[in-house]
Amino acid sequence: LDYNAGFGRANNIGLTKATGEYILFLNSDTVLLNNAIKIMHDIFLTKKKNKIGALGCMLSDINGKFVHSYGRFFTMSDVIINTIKAYFKNPFKKNMHVPQGVSAKEDFFRVDYVTGADMMVPMSIIRKLGAFDSAFFMYCEDCYMQYVYTQQGFSSYISVKPHIIHLESVSTKNNAYNLKKKILIERSRFIYLKKIYTPIQYKLFRFFYFILRSPFIIKPGVSFYEKKEYFHMLLSPVKI
């Protein structure tokens, strides 16, 4: 592609050329330390009774510490409560996702969703239920994709046997970049919630969330332009 179509949309384009029985979505900033692809493929063959919709592994950083590998489906209450909790710690603390899984419970265990950084999915399920929703540009598309799968009886699992390093933590600390990422995350979160809740529930959520995030207007160290961009996101509708 000669333009940035977004994570999910770009992968969907790639799927039109794929012919395999199983599809592995793998970030370019990952390093495979063992025969991870074969291990994941073999799990599908040996655990068919589990009705696996998506399979991932415990990702680690370059120091061997587990990083975000899976999570649970978040709700409007999760977002509101975690935003309020953040204010008790620091009124201007960056509000990211709800708590995400970074620990290995056992060798093979069920989760709500696995991160799209490494995710193997049967092509038969993709043909039946689709892959990434094109409404998302980046973030939350993996969560929503697996939410749809779960509604249809296909669960997501983590295996600790594949060993993959994810270099995501090696990122810029530039404030403008972080704000851009924050806006992308929150907009995608709005899309996700709009898809799974009723219109009235979603509108009430947007109203209360705007109230909670309003103190951002006096956040020190952020330019007027950045504050304007953030409030534009808070007030703008999202398309699904």
DSSP secondary structure, 39-82, as one string = HHHHHHHH-GGG-EEEEEE--B-TTS-B---EE----HHHHHHH
CA atoms within 13 A on the CB side of 54: 31
Q: What is the pTM of this model?
A: 0.87
Quick one: pLDDT at residue 1? 67
53 close to 125: Cβ distance less than 8 angstroms: yes
36 close to 164: Cβ distance less than 8 angstroms: yes
Quick one: pLDDT at residue 90? 54
Quick one: pLDDT at residue 3? 76
Which residues are bridge partners to 30 per DSSP? 166
Quick one: pLDDT at residue 18? 93
Per-residue pLDDT tens, the chain, 240 aa: give them: 677 888 899 999 999 999 999 999 999 999 999 999 999 999 999 998 999 999 999 999 999 899 999 999 999 999 999 888 877 765 444 444 444 566 666 889 999 999 999 999 999 999 999 999 999 999 999 999 999 999 999 999 999 999 999 997 454 344 445 888 889 999 999 999 999 999 999 999 999 999 999 888 888 888 888 889 999 999 999 998
Quick one: pLDDT at residue 6? 87
Quick one: pLDDT at residue 113? 97
Quick one: pLDDT at residue 174? 46
36 close to 57: Cβ distance less than 8 angstroms: yes
